[in-house]
Amino acid sequence: ILNVEQSPQSLHVQEGDSTNFTCSFPSSNFYALHWYRWETAKSPEALFVMTLNGDEKKKGRISATLNTKEGYSYLYIKGSQPEDSATYLCAFCDVSGTYKYIFGTGTRLKVLA
Protein backbone atom coordinates (compact mmCIF):
# COMPACT_ATOMS: atom_id res chain seq x y z
CA ILE A 1 0.00 0.00 0.00
CA LEU A 2 1.48 3.36 -1.04
CA ASN A 3 1.80 5.79 1.86
CA VAL A 4 1.79 9.55 1.33
CA GLU A 5 2.20 11.64 4.47
CA GLN A 6 1.77 15.36 4.95
CA SER A 7 2.82 17.50 7.89
CA PRO A 8 1.74 19.38 9.78
CA GLN A 9 -1.94 18.41 9.75
CA SER A 10 -2.99 21.97 10.43
CA LEU A 11 -1.31 25.31 10.75
CA HIS A 12 -2.32 28.79 11.89
CA VAL A 13 -0.14 31.71 10.79
CA GLN A 14 -0.43 35.48 10.92
CA GLU A 15 -0.97 37.50 7.75
CA GLY A 16 2.41 38.33 6.24
CA ASP A 17 4.20 35.28 7.70
CA SER A 18 5.92 32.84 5.40
CA THR A 19 5.24 29.17 5.92
CA ASN A 20 6.04 25.77 4.50
CA PHE A 21 4.77 22.22 4.76
CA THR A 22 5.99 18.78 3.80
CA CYS A 23 4.81 15.88 1.68
CA SER A 24 6.58 12.52 2.09
CA PHE A 25 6.14 9.74 -0.46
CA PRO A 26 7.76 6.45 -1.53
CA SER A 27 11.15 7.14 -3.13
CA SER A 28 10.98 4.12 -5.44
CA ASN A 29 9.05 3.95 -8.73
CA PHE A 30 8.46 7.69 -8.72
CA TYR A 31 6.57 9.19 -11.67
CA ALA A 32 5.08 12.50 -10.55
CA LEU A 33 4.12 14.53 -7.51
CA HIS A 34 1.17 16.92 -7.62
CA TRP A 35 0.20 19.77 -5.31
CA TYR A 36 -3.40 20.92 -4.97
CA ARG A 37 -5.14 23.73 -3.15
CA TRP A 38 -8.58 22.82 -1.78
CA GLU A 39 -11.02 25.37 -0.44
CA THR A 40 -14.13 24.30 1.40
CA ALA A 41 -17.13 23.62 -0.88
CA LYS A 42 -14.97 23.82 -4.00
CA SER A 43 -13.12 21.23 -6.05
CA PRO A 44 -9.35 20.88 -5.56
CA GLU A 45 -7.32 23.21 -7.77
CA ALA A 46 -4.07 21.97 -9.30
CA LEU A 47 -1.03 24.05 -8.30
CA PHE A 48 2.03 22.15 -9.53
CA VAL A 49 3.05 18.95 -11.26
CA MET A 50 6.63 17.95 -10.45
CA THR A 51 8.46 15.14 -12.17
CA LEU A 52 12.24 15.65 -11.93
CA ASN A 53 14.48 15.40 -8.89
CA GLY A 54 15.49 18.92 -7.90
CA ASP A 55 12.45 20.46 -9.63
CA GLU A 56 11.44 23.84 -8.29
CA LYS A 57 8.16 25.41 -9.38
CA LYS A 58 6.72 28.82 -8.58
CA LYS A 59 3.30 30.42 -8.93
CA GLY A 60 3.06 33.89 -7.46
CA ARG A 61 3.88 33.66 -3.75
CA ILE A 62 3.69 29.86 -3.74
CA SER A 63 6.61 27.63 -4.65
CA ALA A 64 7.47 23.95 -4.34
CA THR A 65 10.59 21.80 -4.39
CA LEU A 66 11.05 18.10 -5.05
CA ASN A 67 13.52 15.50 -3.82
CA THR A 68 12.70 12.14 -5.38
CA LYS A 69 15.78 10.35 -3.97
CA GLU A 70 14.69 10.88 -0.37
CA GLY A 71 10.95 11.06 -1.12
CA TYR A 72 9.81 14.51 -0.06
CA SER A 73 8.44 17.75 -1.44
CA TYR A 74 8.09 21.12 0.27
CA LEU A 75 5.44 23.72 -0.45
CA TYR A 76 6.29 27.30 0.52
CA ILE A 77 3.99 30.28 0.84
CA LYS A 78 5.68 33.67 1.12
CA GLY A 79 3.85 36.51 2.86
CA SER A 80 0.68 34.52 3.63
CA GLN A 81 -2.65 36.23 3.02
CA PRO A 82 -6.10 35.31 4.41
CA GLU A 83 -7.12 34.13 0.92
CA ASP A 84 -4.38 31.48 1.14
CA SER A 85 -6.43 29.72 3.80
CA ALA A 86 -7.24 26.28 2.41
CA THR A 87 -6.20 22.65 2.63
CA TYR A 88 -3.07 21.86 0.63
CA LEU A 89 -2.91 18.33 -0.75
CA CYS A 90 -0.10 16.44 -2.40
CA ALA A 91 -0.67 13.43 -4.64
CA PHE A 92 1.87 10.79 -5.66
CA CYS A 93 1.80 8.87 -8.92
CA ASP A 94 4.10 5.89 -9.53
CA VAL A 95 5.53 4.39 -12.74
CA SER A 96 3.19 1.43 -12.84
CA GLY A 97 1.40 3.09 -15.74
CA THR A 98 -1.99 2.87 -14.11
CA TYR A 99 -2.06 6.59 -13.33
CA LYS A 100 -3.26 6.05 -9.78
CA TYR A 101 -2.97 9.25 -7.76
CA ILE A 102 -2.53 8.62 -4.05
CA PHE A 103 -3.25 11.66 -1.91
CA GLY A 104 -1.83 12.65 1.43
CA THR A 105 -4.10 13.68 4.30
CA GLY A 106 -3.51 17.37 3.59
CA THR A 107 -2.29 20.36 5.56
CA ARG A 108 -5.06 22.71 6.66
CA LEU A 109 -3.76 26.29 6.61
CA LYS A 110 -5.52 29.17 8.34
CA VAL A 111 -4.10 32.65 7.82
CA LEU A 112 -5.21 35.11 10.48
CA ALA A 113 -5.72 38.75 9.49
Interface residue list for another protein (CB under 8 A):
6, 34, 36, 42-44, 46, 49, 89, 91, 98-106
Q: Do strands 86-94 and 107-112 pair parallel, antiparallel, or not at all (unpaired)?
A: antiparallel
How many residues are recorded in the chain?
Answer: 113
Which CB, 37 or 80, lies closer to another protein? 37
Q: Residue 98 Cβ, how far from another protein at the closest point, in Å?
A: 7
Q: Residue 91 Cβ, how far from another protein at the closest point, in Å?
A: 7
Q: Residue 94 Cβ, how far from another protein at the closest point, in Å?
A: 12
Distance between CA atoms of 27 and 8, rounded to whole angstroms? 20
Which CB, 18 or 51, lies closer to another protein? 51
Which CB, 13 or 49, lies closer to another protein? 49
Q: Residue 12 Cβ, how far from another protein at the closest point, in Å?
A: 17
Give Cα separations from 4 to 13, 52, 75, 81, 104 (angstroms).
24, 18, 15, 27, 5
**CA-closest candidate to residue 36, choices 78, 75, 69, 70:** 75
